[in-house]
Amino acid sequence: MSSTLIDFSNSLADAVERAGKSVVAIVEGGQTGVSGTIWGEGVAVTAAHTLRGRDEASLVLPSGDTTTAKVAGRDPGTDIAALRFSASGTGKAQLTPLQDLKVGHVVLAIGRRPKSGVTASYGIISAIGEGFRTWSGGRIDVGLRLDLSPYRGFSGGTLIDSQGRVIGINTSGPHRSILTIPNTTVDRVVTQLLEKGHIARGYIGVGVQPVEIGEAMQRSAGVKQDAGLLLLMVSAGGPAEKAGLLVGDILLTVNGAAVSDPRDLQAALDSESVGKQLKVTILRGGKPSEMTLTIAERGR
């Protein structure tokens, strides 16, 4: 066997060993269990769906010791949960700068099982895309597509680079694929979960769908926009109703930016927006009008 292949194999094994010092097993009653990652002193993160509504979980640490962790908060939008536990000297995850990632880079999905210890699966990054929002409103900073086969119990474990640094937290994607929550997203979410126990998300109380604005309407209304968002529903007592918005209004702009897709509106309703004013332009009765509403926090 060539020395190059041996060196490559050994380097991957070393990366798994380094990363494994910050990966824990979460005992969920089955023999496989799920995984988690130590994100800071006394703080672990995992995929929120694996906790199944529980307020605490039993962790098997890299040392082999078992401890009980309390759920500090969970965010279904990004599928991230933060747990607090009492243990000193636990390894903290070393993070990969996401801007250094390239298509074709070798990656490994790392997990830990309660009895057999660390597990690893090998693959590459097959595509790197822009950030996106999950169906439940969570903002993912970078879209990563992997050519890598998941294994039982991988959810909540880490995706690492060839140096053993953490790219992000793995969870279940569509069609048995892996969805990796990048480390910048995990950092942002965990900070808020530790402070508040949940992620605040903006709410204005409308239901919308895209609608075309014909050329004749554009000319008569004096607008240069061929699409907007039709208000199908306005919640009673919500910010939109209080500001005077009505069913049938067409939303044209939000804070000066044109909107033609529900995701455009959703992007303006991040956790940082709660309590702030939102300036909107609507089309009503063929005439544009400006309104200002105050963003509320979506109920949990």
The catalytic residue among 22, 75, 79, 161 is 79
49 catalytic per annotation = yes
Quick check: 77 and 134 in contact, CB under 8 A?
Answer: yes
Q: Is the torsion defined by CA of 202, 205, 210, 211 positive or negative?
A: negative
Distance (Å, whole) CA 120 – CA 160: 10
Distance (Å, whole) CA 33 – CA 117: 11
The catalytic residue among 49, 187, 198, 289 is 49
Quick check: 81 and 46 in contact, CB under 8 A?
Answer: yes
DSSP letters spanning 109-147: EEEEETTTEEEEEEEEEEEEE--EE-TTS-EESSEEEEE
Distance (Å, whole) CA 274 – CA 297: 6
75 catalytic per annotation = no
79 catalytic per annotation = yes
The catalytic residue among 35, 121, 155, 260 is 155
The set of catalytic residues is 49, 79, 155
